[in-house]
Structure 1
Amino acid sequence: MAAIAITRLELSSAELRQRAVRFGDPDVARRLLALALVLEGRSREDAARSCGMDRQTLRDWVHRYNAQGVAGLRDRKAPGAKPKLSAEQEAEVASWVRSGPDLAEDGVVRWRRCDLARKIERRFGVVLAERSVGGLLRRLGFRRLSVRPQHPQQDGEALEAHKKNFAALVAGALPDTARGKPLELWWQDEARVGQQGTLTRVWAAKGSRPRAPRDQRHSWAYLFGAVCPSRGAAAALVLPKANAAAMTLHMAEISGQVSDGHHAVLILDGAGWHQPGDKLVVPENISLLHLPPYCPELNPVENIWQFLRQNHLSHRVFDSYAAIVEACCEAWNALAQAPEIIRSIASRSWAAVNV
């Protein structure tokens, strides 16, 4: 077979060698060196052998170089099989996943790959294996995730309005005596920690069912926690009950953590023991701002509890109430000594106000 001449001559053999030295892809570098050898007068067989290829392969790369230059020497990704669903059909499948199944129509309360495969066949007449449906979902940006509980009485508009108008709500919570003072935003919540502990996900062999200890007794304590994301500060108490008297003690602890000369706005839910009154004493350097009802996801301390349970308090058996208190103290103290973790978990872009 006659050799194909190199017709693209804007780069000399020396320049091709320089490109090969600087090129990050070793395969492209080998092809550049082979072309340089050909331009220097070496036989095609010698040039191909020197660069780890056969003569036919070098012939193919000469064709590509003549047509596209150095760019043509890159490996091309195989296009793969043509998708069985059009872009419009894939968009419709994505809308099914976002809205969830209709129990009356689809007969299921959550999508599985087999359910989507059946609906795709009914709707479009296209048969997809479950594995192909999984690949489609990943390509559309979906992943299999744990769901977060949502109260049926939650007002989505009130939740969004709270985030949108957060700066105005903070300003409205301030008394006249706090006007002009630098502000700190604190978030507060309580968690019950006890012998009926939590279990979290662990790494284990595929197909196995890992086991973890879980107590069957019922002693518990309440961990009152508050964080200031901007400072990475934290204040907590472990108490036997959750009531106004316990909340008053926690308020005093938070008050002592507020920077001198600052005023704190404490954001918290609407629990009965969080309401101002005769039994709840609010320090002078703290003002309360309550979250909308049934919207715990607005409170970043919920994520603090998740972090503590996953990393300190789960998979444990507590022999006594004192052991529960000690575990809570150790977990919170470890968190308090890591302000960067507090900032990363509790910071919210919509909660940024000029403090």
Structure 2
Amino acid sequence: MGRAVSLRDDYDGQALRQLAKQSKHANQSRRLLALAEIYDGGKRSDAARIGGVTLQIIRDWVLRFNMEGPPGLIDKARSGAPSKLNGGQRRALAAIVEQGPIPSIHGVVRWRRKDLARWIYEEYGISLEESSVGRELRALGFAKLSARPRHRGQNQFAMDEFLKNFPAELAAVRKKLPKGTPIEVWWQDEARVGQKTKITRRWAKRGTRPVAPKDQRTKSVYVFGAICPARGVGAGLVLPYCNRQAMQWHLEEISCQVANGAHAIVILDRAGWHTTQNLEVPANITLLPLPPRSPELNPVENIWQFMRDNWLSNRIFSSYEEILAICCDAWSKLVEQPWIIMSIGLREWAHRF
């Protein structure tokens, strides 16, 4: 049997135990404690018992430690087999996934891994398993996400034009105000909450199908919500109807929440009760309609999703009064967490000016 390899002499057992205590890697801590036993004069068999390994592995740890020090005892990421796709082929894969399939050409309405594997083979003659296609997609930053419905009449050019012209709209409002008047950007929308609640995803053991309560009754309320992401504040009302009078009350509530001396630009969709000439818009508010059918531009839509996922779904409302109380409580919870409003609501294109 060969001689035991000596440990480097610039460490000792106490130093290794201290490093093991500070380490964020469990395996590195275990290896450091095993080598500390050798530094303290213990047998290599005792070090193997502490490390839960064989004497040969202890010898490997000693060699790694002598060469690289404590970092040499950290598990290194496994590189795995190199990708069969080169940079250009990966960019082409990303482009076709972003573009989506053409049903008349590709025969499918959404990409599956097997479809992309076939496309890669037809384009480049490279055969990939479905799992390998999945790894390539994840490495390119893709994930399998639920798609949001998009109205067939949505005009992408109008949405792009709105974003492009927003600084000019902001400047036009500022020009009409006294010099130095602060401007706040607010977003407004409504959501219907009723006894037919949404069922959300939940953690459950693999192979099981979790259940959640689902009501079929139809009592409901409307939550009128508006947020100012820059300040992390909101203005909300829970009302029985969605009409011009309800919108009038909401504008008055928003007006009360605008900072003293500031002017609010309230961005909202083109619902009839938003655009009617019969609204009396408060003096500290200017309404700015979004392009038709463009809910993606309104972050309050994401606020509704957050509230439904966390406070309003997977439950049974016994009465109208209970729906009202729970919706009021949910909105109160939201405005008590300004960081949530900021995180969900801030849009770089609207708040950089």
Q: Are 1:15 and 2:10 matched, yes or no? A: yes
Secondary structure of the 2:328 match is helix
Does 233-242 or 158-167 show the bigger shift? 158-167
Q: Are 1:106 and 2:101 matched, yes or no? A: no
Q: After TM superposition, give the deviation of residue 171 of structure 1 in Å.
A: 2.6
Taking a change above 3 Å as real, the CA distance of residues 178 and 14 of structure 1, as seen in their structure-2 partners, is same
Task: Name structure 1 gaps, 5 residues minimum.
Answer: 7-11
Does 312-321 or 295-304 show the bigger shift? 312-321
Q: What's the % identity of the aligned pairs?
A: 46
Q: Are 1:274 and 2:274 matched, yes or no? A: yes
Aligned runs of 1:97-176 on 2, under 5 Å? 97-174=97-174, 176=176
Taking a change above 3 Å as real, the CA distance of residues 4 and 296 of structure 1, as seen in their structure-2 partners, is same
Q: After TM superposition, give the deviation of residue 33 of structure 1 in Å.
A: 8.3
Which residue of structure 1 aligns with residue 265 of structure 2?
265
Instruction: Give, in whole Å, the separation in 1 of the partners of 2:97 and 2:212.
Output: 33
Q: After TM superposition, give the deviation of residue 249 of structure 1 in Å.
A: 1.2
Taking a change above 3 Å as real, the CA distance of residues 260 and 88 of structure 1, as seen in their structure-2 partners, is closer
Which residue of structure 1 aligns with residue 342 of structure 2?
343
Which residue of structure 2 aligns with residue 9 of structure 1?
none
Taking a change above 3 Å as real, the CA distance of residues 13 and 212 of structure 1, as seen in their structure-2 partners, is closer
Secondary structure of the 1:105 match is helix
Does 72-81 or 223-232 show the bigger shift? 72-81
Matched to 1:345, the amino acid is: I
Taking a change above 3 Å as real, the CA distance of residues 35 and 156 of structure 1, as seen in their structure-2 partners, is farther
Secondary structure of the 2:9 match is helix
Secondary structure of the 1:93 match is helix
Q: After TM superposition, give the deviation of residue 235 of structure 1 in Å.
A: 1.3
Does 319-328 or 71-80 show the bigger shift? 71-80
Q: After TM superposition, give the deviation of residue 58 of structure 1 in Å.
A: 8.4
Aligned runs of 1:176-191 on 2, under 5 Å? 176-191=176-191
Is 1:4–1:63's contact at 8 Å kept on the other side of the alignment?
Answer: no
Which residue of structure 1 aligns with residue 288 of structure 2?
289
Secondary structure of the 1:256 match is helix
Taking a change above 3 Å as real, the CA distance of residues 31 and 326 of structure 1, as seen in their structure-2 partners, is closer
Matched to 1:303, the amino acid is: N
Q: After TM superposition, give the deviation of residue 344 of structure 1 in Å.
A: 1.8
Q: After TM superposition, give the deviation of residue 300 of structure 1 in Å.
A: 1.2
Instruction: Give, in whole Å, the separation in 1 of the partners of 2:5 and 2:321.
Output: 86
Instruction: Give, in whole Å, the separation in 2 of the partners of 1:13 and 1:244.
Output: 81
Q: After TM superposition, give the deviation of residue 352 of structure 1 in Å.
A: 1.4
Report Cα offsets for 1:41-60 as digits up to 9, x if no partner.
x9xxx997686598877887
Taking a change above 3 Å as real, the CA distance of residues 60 and 198 of structure 1, as seen in their structure-2 partners, is closer
Q: Please, what TM-score do these two structures have when normalized by structure 1?
A: 0.79
Q: Are 1:216 and 2:216 matched, yes or no? A: yes
Task: Name structure 2 gaps, 5 residues minimum.
Answer: none
Instruction: Give, in whole Å, the separation in 2 of the partners of 1:5 and 1:318.
Output: 72
Q: After TM superposition, give the deviation of residue 333 of structure 1 in Å.
A: 1.7
Which residue of structure 2 aligns with residue 330 of structure 1?
329
Secondary structure of the 2:309 match is helix
Q: Please, what TM-score do these two structures have when normalized by structure 2?
A: 0.80
Larger Rg: 1
Taking a change above 3 Å as real, the CA distance of residues 60 and 260 of structure 1, as seen in their structure-2 partners, is closer
Instruction: Give, in whole Å, the separation in 1 of the partners of 2:224 and 2:234.
Output: 11
Aligned runs of 1:60-79 on 2, under 5 Å? 78-79=78-79
Q: After TM superposition, give the deviation of residue 198 of structure 1 in Å.
A: 1.7
Is 2:185–2:264's contact at 8 Å kept on the other side of the alignment?
Answer: yes
Which residue of structure 2 aligns with residue 192 of structure 1?
192
Which residue of structure 1 aligns with residue 90 of structure 2?
90
Instruction: Give, in whole Å, the separation in 1 of the partners of 2:169 and 2:214.
Output: 43
Report Cα offsets for 1:282-320 as digits up to 9, x if no partner.
111111111122221111111111111111111223333
Q: After TM superposition, give the deviation of residue 135 of structure 1 in Å.
A: 2.2
Taking a change above 3 Å as real, the CA distance of residues 151 and 79 of structure 1, as seen in their structure-2 partners, is same
Q: After TM superposition, give the deviation of residue 322 of structure 1 in Å.
A: 2.7
Instruction: Give, in whole Å, the separation in 1 of the partners of 2:138 and 2:257.
Output: 46
Secondary structure of the 1:197 match is coil
Secondary structure of the 1:344 match is helix
Is 2:230–2:351's contact at 8 Å kept on the other side of the alignment?
Answer: no
Taking a change above 3 Å as real, the CA distance of residues 161 and 61 of structure 1, as seen in their structure-2 partners, is same
Instruction: Give, in whole Å, the separation in 2 of the partners of 1:252 and 1:286.
Output: 9
Is 2:265–2:288's contact at 8 Å kept on the other side of the alignment?
Answer: yes
Matched to 1:342, the amino acid is: I
Q: After TM superposition, give the deviation of residue 118 of structure 1 in Å.
A: 2.5
Matched to 1:190, the amino acid is: E
Secondary structure of the 2:186 match is strand
Q: After TM superposition, give the deviation of residue 107 of structure 1 in Å.
A: 1.0
Instruction: Give, in whole Å, the separation in 2 of the partners of 1:154 and 1:124.
Output: 36
Instruction: Give, in whole Å, the separation in 2 of the partners of 1:273 and 1:157.
Output: 25
Is 2:192–2:220's contact at 8 Å kept on the other side of the alignment?
Answer: yes
Superposition RMSD on alpha carbons, in Å? 3.5
Which residue of structure 2 aligns with residue 314 of structure 1?
313
Q: After TM superposition, give the deviation of residue 213 of structure 1 in Å.
A: 2.1
